[in-house]
Structure 1
Amino acid sequence: MPTFPSRSRWLRWARASLMIVVCILLSACSVLGNNTRDRATVYDLDPRVQADPAWPKVDWQLSLAKVNATRVGDSLRIAVRPAANELQIYKGASWARIPTDMLEGAILRTLEDSGRIGAVARQRSGMSAKYRLMLELRRFESDYAAPGMSPTVVIEVSAKLLHIPSQSVVDSRTFLQQAPTATTSIEDVVQAFDQALHAVTGEIVGWVLASGNAANDPPRAG
């Protein structure tokens, strides 16, 4: 008759085999964990824009429509334009949020924190508002305009302020902000993006308050 190992011997053999498998797996994880070259560094822009004393105080409410953008420009990849007709991405780096979300969040927070407006909310919140801000993000990239030089970050936004009751556009404007980078490193490029987003957010918020205020209180005839 065939002989079988005892239960205790079989258990010892099973434990030893399991330990070998565990060691192999841990070793593989260690190798993967140390391979930082395959990891992407994630960056997020969160500018804090202080209210300008020149901004008017208004009592109407504003809804912020979802920001539109081209599919290529609205990506987690950080865009760079090495030549006029060429668009690439920075390797090993990405955004934590798509650019339209960063722009929308910066404008909403700046208006909320400014104390200059009755109320502001995203359009999908269902809040009843007098005006609606519609934005299109046209450019959100670093641009090597001059060969051999450090890039310049470019943010371009088209804005329209809509009077909701009449469905008429009371004002429109295109905002363009450029911020030069200190070097070609991705850290300096991201810093320039932060500066440009900070500047364009302040410009847009000031324009919204002034334009809505002028439309809401037109000059009276003398």
Structure 2
Amino acid sequence: MIASLRFAPIAALVLLAGCTAIGGPKTDVSIYSPQTRIQADPDWPAVDWQLTVGAPDTHALLDSQRIAVRPSPDRLQTYKGARWADTAPELVQLALVEAFEDSGRIEAVSRWGGGRGDFGLFTDLRSFETVYVDGQPRVVVEIQARLVKFRADGGLVAARRFRTEVAPAGAGIEPVVAAFGEAMASINADIVGWSLVEGERALSEGAEGSGEK
């Protein structure tokens, strides 16, 4: 169901200042942007409502461009010499918007601040990191999602936690970034399908309650 994915370094090398402000050493930093296109499931409903996607809330380390790695359960570090193109929440928000657009099943979708739709999708980014289990890396993405209806009879429509794990082809940063792209595409497809179904269910129940035909 998911299209083939590759990571994409969007800038080969970016020179950043080192430890000292003047005359200090330079560190080469590679900038990465995972590619996360999805393919629509034919069972997803086509909807005529609009959706606004908020930026995920998360903890301080993930709210940055650093690429997180957990070598042991109680240690959270970052990969040296590598950065995301945006902060992790911004990457996730943009990827979700693009996933809804790629689905072709929704009238309009935008990021929060670009207008207000009929529904809002709000998320907490619980995990966005490489986790080592028995010495082997696994990319883990976990998102808590809430779908909210903005109309007069609005409120919380549904909430669900989504989680996916992908084993990279190797421990190096390039296969790890590729695995992040695969994991994000998989979890985004799950969130898109769930949101479309739950939004349609909420509108149907609202119409029945109001006596609309």
TM-score calculated relative to the size of structure 2: 0.80
Which amino acid in the other structure matches residue 140 of structure 1?
F
**1:34 alignment partner in structure 2:** none
For residues 1-222 of structure 1, the aligned pairs below 5 Å read: 38-127=27-116, 129-146=117-134, 149-165=135-151, 166-218=153-205
User: Could you list the per-position Cα deviations for residues 157-180 of structure 1 after superposition, in whole angstroms to 9, with x for gaps in the alignment?
Assistant: 000000112341110000001001
Say which SS state the counterpart of residue 41 (structure 1) adopts. Answer: strand
Q: Which has the larger displacement, 63-72 or 131-140?
A: 63-72
Q: Name segments (4+ residues, structure 1) moved above 6 Å.
A: none
Q: Distance in 2 between matches of 1:93 and 1:111?
A: 29
Deviates more, 1:65-74 or 1:172-181: 65-74
Q: CA RMSD in A?
A: 1.9
Q: Larger Rg: 1 or 2? A: 1
> Structure 1: which 5+ residue stretches go unaligned?
1-36
User: How many residues of Structure 1 are paired with residues of Structure 2 in the alignment?
Assistant: 183
CA distance in structure 2 between the partners assigned to 1:73 and 1:182 by the alignment: 23
* 1:66 positional shift: 2.2
- The one-letter amino acid paired with 1:195 is E
The percent of aligned pairs where both chains have the same amino acid is 38
Query: In terms of mean alpha carbon deviation, does 63-72 or 172-181 score higher?
Result: 63-72
CA shift for structure 1 position 132: 0.6
Amino acid at match of 1:47: T
Match of 1:39, SS state, is strand
Larger strand share, 1 or 2: 2
Distance in 2, matches of 1:82 and 1:95, equals: 19
